[in-house]
Each structure stands twice: as structure tokens, then as C-alpha cells.
A = this chain, B = another copy of it.
Amino acid sequence: MNQTMTYEDFQRRVSSVILTENGNCPVTPVIQMLQGKWKLQIIYELCIQSPMRFGELKKMLTPITNTMLTNALKELEGDGLVHREQYNEIPPRVEYSLTEKGRDLLPVFYAISQWGMKYIP
């Protein structure tokens, strides 16, 4: 998959790659899931260090606002990529980490990274 392929090779393979049996494209929902100004950065921070508290994430992602961080984390949790662990203490403590589903995105990031290193100056 890594060397440059001819257009004929590409066309021969593409239907099995980006189209499933029922005719749906599995790529679109994944791209949509990773959209949003802060999501990739949040995932990246949780890759480097995990778990992370809300305040730690906010500090790393400055100048993100509380609202934006809360919304992004909720969506990531809703998509099953991030796990939220709440401890009922005073003062409150909440820790975020990647799920297995989130960690399984690594091959995706790897492929994108390879492409980016080749084509992004």
C-alpha cells in the first residue's frame, strides 16, 4: 500500500476500499467525526498523556474556552472515542482518557501522517 500505484491499480482497488457491500462510504462519517476546531488537538493531548483533568486539557489547549472544551469532549465521548471518569470529591475532579476505539485511530493518523510528510512542505 505504500509505494505509488498506477491509476489502473488504484481504480481496481478503490471500490473495495472506500465502498462497503451495502453501498455506503465508511470514510465520510469518520472525517465528520474528526471535524471541529479542537478535536484532533484533544485526541493528540490524550495520546501524549492520559488521563488528563479538565483543567490540564484547558491549559494545554489555550486559548480554548470552557464552552468549546466541554462541547468537544462531550461529542468525543458521545462518539465513544474518549472516556470520562468523574470523582465525587470536593473540589470536583474529572479525568479524560482515550478509549480503545479512540486508540484504534492510530493507523488512520499514521496513514495521514505519511501522506502529510510527503506532500506538506
Residues of A that sit less than 8 Å from B by CB = 1-2, 4-5, 7, 10-11, 13-15, 17-20, 25-31, 34-35, 40-41, 44, 47-48, 50, 80, 98, 100-101, 103-120
Contacts and interface: CB of A to CB of B under 8 A. Distances in A.
A2 to B, nearest CB: 7
Given A4-B100, A5-B106, 14 more contacts: A5-B103, A7-B98, A7-B103, A10-B103, A17-B110, A25-B41, A27-B40, A27-B44, A30-B112, A31-B40, A107-B114, A108-B108, A108-B115, A111-B112
The copy count of this chain in the complex is 2
**Interface residue SS majority, chain A:** helix
A44 B98 CA distance: 30
B118 A104 contact: yes
Contacts of A7: 50, 98, 103
A111 B107 contact: yes
A68 to B, nearest CB: 16
A61 to B, nearest CB: 13
